């Protein structure tokens, strides 16, 4: 392995937890911090530590419509967690390191475009905030997100469901057996983004072998075709065999091998709730893999390879899923054409439950289709406390579609809404009335 310079951004968020006994609390990273120091990782000249930034309102608005505003949904800890991801992006784009790992909390990949509260332990989506920074500040054109958290990355999927320039691949425990109950192979995107979302639902008890099969036979070939400028690993670790809230059998070596194969520019910690049994080992393995160092001695005390290995029937199910998704990827232009099929507007209805906040949201979305651009969409969202409308104009919106959006916006009144949001990515203009 060739040694590479890796930047570590660490933020355990001492002052934020959902509750003192909640799985998502500051102890998640304290054992990891101790393990990294005890193993002497910072003695390696190519493993460097950096402080996080603090995400500001503009950076958060690029990814979210926070209801009623950013400060209502994001504490200072959330802003610093997102700032850890922003620092990782800065290290890569300024060529200070070859890769970067944001070891931060709170996590974010369940936070969707519209945010009424906390769901899946997430308020704001730290990867999406980082992605928008990469696009706006550094003019990065094509980005791939490979989400290896045990739970489907439904928030990241939602934010980029329309976008053909952000490839989203989620490898997760089958949603029929785990929160948030989504992430199936027929969830492929919408509009011109159709075909650029790939979900790999895995059976419970999948081990290193199954995950590596998916990586080698689906993810890497798709990435080779897509040719992203930046690869991001949404590096949740709750698919470890000791995690208390999931049912998978991935090991620290398995995680390390995944990152060795994927070679992400940036990794961002998401879930992972085996505070002592998993996180210190997994994070050590990932750091060593990113740094091009030997990780073969990173072994958990209760590791038993033969006991963890999945059955042949599970492997066969994974192979069927991989083949289905490979075929869909190869036919993405054709299936996107059939999906759009001359439609001018694609209408979508969704119900979103915020499990931590106890809020139910009802969404009605109208996505306008244009031959010349990725156009815009209008979202009507009703939560327990607010009813809002939001206009989201995409980066490449043409003059004709902009005029159409402005005309509809001018006709809309606050009579039926608490707030009306205008989010224009092309001009970096985010406001509300």
Q: List active site positions.
A: 110
Asked whether the beta carbons of 16 and 106 are under 8 A apart, the reply is yes
Tell me the C-alpha to C-alpha distance, in Å, between residue 56 and each of 43, 108, 172.
33, 16, 31
* C-alpha distances in Å from residue 135, one per residue of 31, 80, 230, 297, 385: 34, 20, 10, 38, 33
Q: The sheet that has 99-104: what strands, in order across it?
A: 47-50, 6-11, 99-104, 266-269, 230-235, 143-147, 166-173, 197-202
Measure the CA–CA gap between 19 and 24, rounded to whole angstroms.
8
Kindly give, in sequence order, each residue whose CB lies less than 8 Å from that of residue 432, ignoring residues fewer than 6 positions away.
Answer: 419, 420, 421, 422
CA distance 152 to 361: 19
8 A C-beta contact, residue 207 and residue 120: no
Q: Which H or E run includes 73?
A: helix 70-73
Residue 21 CB neighbour total at 10 angstroms? 7
Query: 3-state DSSP call for residue 64?
Result: coil
Spatial separation of the C-alpha atoms in residues 300 and 208, rounded to whole Å: 14
Tokens coding 101? 């790992």
Bridge partners of 119, per DSSP, are 122
What is the SS3 assignment for 333?
helix
Cis peptide before 180 (omega within 30 of 0): yes
Helices 279-291 and 27-38 cross at an angle (nearest 10°) of: 50
Instruction: Specify whether the CB–CB gap between 22 and 13 falls below 8 A.
Output: no
Q: Specify the DSSP class assigned to residue 240.
A: B
């Amino acid at each position: 392995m060739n040694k590479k310079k890796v930047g570590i951004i660490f933020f355990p968020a001492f002052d934020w937890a959902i509750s003192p006994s909640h799985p998502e609390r500051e102890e998640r990273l304290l054992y990891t911090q101790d393990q990294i120091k005890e193993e002497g990782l910072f003695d390696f000249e190519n493993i460097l530590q950096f402080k996080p930034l603090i995400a500001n309102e503009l950076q958060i608005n690029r990814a979210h419509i926070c209801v009623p505003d950013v400060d209502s949904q994001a504490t200072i800890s959330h802003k610093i967690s997102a700032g850890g991801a922003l620092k990782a992006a800065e290290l890569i784009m300024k060529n200070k390191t070859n890769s970067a790992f944001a070891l931060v909390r709170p996590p974010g990949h369940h936070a969707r475009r519209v945010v009424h509260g906390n769901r899946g332990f997430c308020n704001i989506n730290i990867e999406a905030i980082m992605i928008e920074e990469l696009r706006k500040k550094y003019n990065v054109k094509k980005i791939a997100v490979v989400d290896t958290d045990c739970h489907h990355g439904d928030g990241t999927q939602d934010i980029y469901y329309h976008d053909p320039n952000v490839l989203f691949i989620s490898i997760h425990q089958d949603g029929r057996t785990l929160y948030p109950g989504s992430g199936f192979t027929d969830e492929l995107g919408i509009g011109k983004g159709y075909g650029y979302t790939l979900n790999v639902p895995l059976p419970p008890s999948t081990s290193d072998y199954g995950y590596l099969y998916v990586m080698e036979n689906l993810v890497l070939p798709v990435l080779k075709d897509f040719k992203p400028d930046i690869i991001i690993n949404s590096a949740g670790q709750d698919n470890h065999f000791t995690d208390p809230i999931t049912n998978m059998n991935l090991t620290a070596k398995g995680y390390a091998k995944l990152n060795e194969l994927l070679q992400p520019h940036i990794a961002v910690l998401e879930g992972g709730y085996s505070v002592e049994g998993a996180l210190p080992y997994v994070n050590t393995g990932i750091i060593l893999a990113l740094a091009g160092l030997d990780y073969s001695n990173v072994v958990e005390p209760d590791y038993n390879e033969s006991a963890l290995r999945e059955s042949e029937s599970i492997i066969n199910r994974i192979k069927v899923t991989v083949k289905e998704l490979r075929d869909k990827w190869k036919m993405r232009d054709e299936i996107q054409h059939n999906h759009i099929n001359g439609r001018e507007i694609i209408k979508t209805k969704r119900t979103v439950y915020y499990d931590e906040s106890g809020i139910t949201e009802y969404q009605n979305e109208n996505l306008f289709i244009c031959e010349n651009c990725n156009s815009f969409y209008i979202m009507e969202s009703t939560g327990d406390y607010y009813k809002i409308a939001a206009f989201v104009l995409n980066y490449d919106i043409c003059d004709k579609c902009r005029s159409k959006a402005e005309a509809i916006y001018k006709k809309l009144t606050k009579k039926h809404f608490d707030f009306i949001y205008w989010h224009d990515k092309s001009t970096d203009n985010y406001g509300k009335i």
